[in-house]
Amino acid sequence: FCGPPKTIPHASLRLNKQYYIGQVLHFKCQSGFDKRPPTSGTRTCKKVNDQVIWTPLDMQCTNDSS
């Protein structure tokens, strides 16, 4: 099992208590903080070299459009 993932500022995610290997979480920027793409992303619970990790999430939620 993976533990809870780190949260992302201004992104919404429903948290469970346990996450199984292979589970994919979908993150989405909150309204007003979706000015810079990508505004949504996924993280996957994986086992790598006997460690259970979350894949990185390549998104930023910001209200800065520059």
Q: pLDDT tens string for the chain (66 positions)?
A: 888 888 778 887 776 667 899 999 888 999 889 888 888 999 999 999 999 999 998 888 888 765
pLDDT for the residue numbered 47: 94
User: Which residues pair with residue 12 across a beta bridge?
Assistant: 28
pLDDT for the residue numbered 59: 87
Q: pTM here?
A: 0.74
Torsion sign, CA atoms 66, 28, 52, 55:
negative
Residue from 40, 42, 46, 44 nearest 61 by CA: 40
Residue from 27, 25, 23 nearest 12 by CA: 27
Residue ranges covered by each domain of the chain: 11-57
